Amino acid sequence: MKIGKKWLDSHQWFLRTSNNGLSHDGYKRKRVGAWNKAPHWTGKPTCKDCGGFFGIDKEANGFGLPARPTLELCEWRGRRVVIDDKICVSEYRVVAVDDDIPDEAFKRCAIKVYRGRKSYQHNRGCGIVRSGAPRIEQRDGRIYTYGQSQPHIKQRDGWICIYGQSQPHIKQHGGWICIYGQSQPHIKQHGGWICIYSQSQPHIKQRDGRICIYGQSQPHIKQRGGRIDTYDQSQPRIEQHGGGIYTYDQSQPHIKQHGGWICIYGQSVPVIKDMRKERSK
C-alpha cells in the first residue's frame, strides 16, 4: 500500500510505536494490514480504564512517541477517545512501518522531521532524525534518531532517544539520553543522564553527570568524573580517572582504574586493573 498525502487526507489514522510488534503488557499485534480489536474496550477517557490502543494523531499529540524502536502508521475504525495529549482507539491495523511512513504523517502530528545535512534549532516539542547527518542544537524537547542516521547534536536540556543502527555525535551538557538497539553513538558528557540498554555500544567521554548501564550493552567509557552504575549482564569497558563506579546484579565491567572509587554489590564480578599499582612498580 502506497501512503501519501491523499491517503492521509481520506483515512482515519494515527502513529504509535512497538518493539517489533510488542507493546504495553506484552501485547503482540497482528501482521501489517490485519485488524486488531481491543478485547477489554470500555471507552472511559482514562489511561487505566480505556481498554484500547494508544497513539497520537494530528489533534492529540503532546504525549509524543513512546520509547520503542518500531514506528507504526495505523488506521483505526470503531471508536476513538482523547485522553489528555494522546488518543485511545477500539480497533486498528498497521499500514506502514519505519521508512515506509511518509514524513508528512509526522509533521501532521507536530513532530519535526530532520534529514540531510542542514542545521536546525530544536527548542521544544518532538523531532525525529530519519536519515543523513543534520546538525541540531537542542535546548529542550525530545529528539528521536532512527535508521542509520548520523546527526550532530549539542544538547543543553531535554531528551534524546537513539534507536536502530544510528550513530549520532552528541555533546551533552544536561538532559537525558536513552540508547537502544545496536546503536553506536559517540558522546561527550559534561552533565545530565545517560541510560544504556540492549546491545548498544556507545563510546562516551564522561566528565560529569551519571551513566546507568543495563541489559547486555557494552559501552566504552573514559571517566574523569560523575557516576557510573552497571546492572544486569552488562559488560562495559571503563577507563576511570575519577568519579565513582557502582556495580550491581551480574554485571561484568572491565575497569582500568587510575583514580576514583569502585563499589561492588550483588553477584557482579568486575575485572579491575589498578593502574596506580602498575605505575608504582
Tens digits of residue pLDDT in 240-278: 999 999 999 999 999 999 999 999 999 999 999 999 876
**Is 130 in contact with 111 (CB distance < 8 Å)?**
no
Residue 249's contacts (CB-CB under 8 Å, 6 or more residues apart) are 230, 231, 232, 233, 266, 267, 268
Cell numbers at 13, concatenated: 489514522
- Residue 281 pLDDT > 80: no
Spatial CA neighbour of 17 closest among 97, 125, 128, 83: 97
pLDDT tens, residue by residue, 166-185: 999 999 999 999 999 889 99
pLDDT tens, residue by residue, 125-143: 999 999 999 999 999 999 9
Residue 224's contacts (CB-CB under 8 Å, 6 or more residues apart) are 205, 206, 207, 241, 242, 243
Residue 57: which region, alpha, beta or left (left: phi > 0; alpha: psi -120 to 50)? beta
Residue 267's contacts (CB-CB under 8 Å, 6 or more residues apart) are 249, 250
The percent of the chain in helix, strand and coil, each rounded to the nearest 5, is 10, 45, 50
pLDDT tens, residue by residue, 204-235: 999 999 999 999 999 999 999 999 999 999 99
pLDDT tens, residue by residue, 87-115: 999 999 999 999 999 999 999 999 999 99
**For 23-55, b where at least 16 C-beta lie within 10 A, e where not — what string?**
beeeeebeebeeebebeebebeeeeeebebbbb
C-alpha dihedral (253, 254, 257, 260), degrees to nearest 10: -10
β-pairing, 203-206 vs 159-162, is unpaired
Report how far residue 18's alpha carbon sits from residue 32's, in angstroms, rounded to the nearest whole number: 13
Eight-class DSSP state of 250: T
Average pLDDT value over all residues in the chain: 95
What are the domain boundaries of the chain?
5-104, 108-280
- Residue-level length of the chain: 281
Cell numbers at 118, concatenated: 542542514
β-pairing, 86-97 vs 35-37, is antiparallel
DSSP per-residue string spanning 45-62: SSTTT--SEEEB-SSS-T
**Angle (CA) 49 50 55, round 5°:** 130
DSSP per-residue string spanning 55-82: EB-SSS-TT---S-SEEEEEEEEEEEEE
Cell 559488560, located at residue: 235
